[in-house]
Amino acid sequence: MKKIILIRHAKSAWDNPWLSDHDRPLADRGKRDAPMMAKRLKKRGIKPDIILSSTAKRAAETALITAQELEFPVQEISWENNLYHSSPSTILKYIHLQKDSKNTMLIFGHNPGLNDLIEYLGGNLDNLPTSGQFGFTLKSEHWNELSPKTAQVWFVDYPKKKG
């Protein structure tokens, strides 16, 4: 069974107004939340075969923290500049291009693209918060068939969610 988890980057720092948006690092809260949320994935038994991440610093740091916690080789993370503030159609394009031999995919990105993709695929969520995770399973063995007809909500999790 194919599984995909969309992950919004952890909370970013805004203390340097001269940094470009792309270069903003994680805030202290993000540095706390990212490992905590990665541990929750580990507790669920998540073992990714593919990690795709935006190249924005806050997304990249979140992906690296998660990969290390899940014992995924960081050198195998696919860094995709086009995932930075991407549309749902761009995110879907990257998903559809993945090899069917891989079964569990994590994508690290940004809102509003992640929110819009979640809604398109049938998820019901007002806003995916920073460090939030939204999981889908596919009723197909082919990544290029991910659509509202093949996606099924698996779980949603975020730092302030209880139990």
Structure tokens at 133: 């995770």
CA distance 141 to 34: 30
Return the structure tokens found at 11.
Answer: 């909370």
Q: Check whether 58 is labelled as a binding-site residue.
A: yes
Cβ–Cβ < 8 Å for 135, 125: no
Residue 115: both structure tokens together: 């929110």
Looking at residue 73, the DSSP 8-state letter turns out to be -
CA–CA distance, 21 with 40 (Å, rounded to integer): 28
Can you say which residues are annotated as belonging to the binding site for substrate?
Answer: 58
Can you say which residues are annotated as belonging to the binding site?
Answer: 58
